[in-house]
Amino acid sequence: MIRDDSDGDLRLTDKDRHAVAISRPDGSHYQELLAQVDHLIGYKLVDSETLLILYQKLGVGYSAKISLADFKLLERVELPSAGL
C-alpha cells in the first residue's frame, strides 16, 4: 500500500515507498507489517505458521519473519551488503 508521496512528485505511484500489509483471506484482521519499504524483493512460507519477507528500505536489505497466527513480527535482520 502506498500512503505518502515519498518522492515529492505530488502523485502516489509505484516509485513512492510502500507499506507491506497482511490480512485474513476474508479481509479481516488487516495489519500493516512494514512501513516505508522501497522495494519488496519477495516472500515465502517458511512453514505453516511463518512467513519470510525480503525487502529493501533506505538502500539496505532486510529479512523479516512474521507469525501467521497473530501477524506479529518475530524477527528482523539486516542483510549483508553484496559489495557491488
Residues 38-51 have pLDDT tens digits of: 889 999 999 999 99
Provide the percentage of residues in the chain whose pLDDT is more than 70: 77
Residue 47 within any structural domain of the chain: yes
Residue 1 within any structural domain of the chain: no
pTM for the full model?
0.79
Residue 12 within any structural domain of the chain: no
Look at residue 63 and tell me whether its pLDDT is greater than 80.
yes
Do residues 17 and 38 lie in contact, with contact meaning Cβ atoms separated by under 8 Å?
Answer: yes
Residue 52 within any structural domain of the chain: yes
Tally of domains within the chain: 1
Residue 33 within any structural domain of the chain: yes
**Which three-class secondary structure state does DSSP give residue 43?**
strand
Which residue range forms the structural domain that includes residue 64?
18-78
* Distance in angstroms (rounded) separating the CA atoms of residues 28 and 7: 31
**pLDDT for res 36:** 85
- Mean pLDDT, residues 34-38: 88
Residue 10 within any structural domain of the chain: no
Residue 9 within any structural domain of the chain: no
Angle CA(68)–CA(71)–CA(75) in degrees, nearest 5?
90
Residue 2 within any structural domain of the chain: no
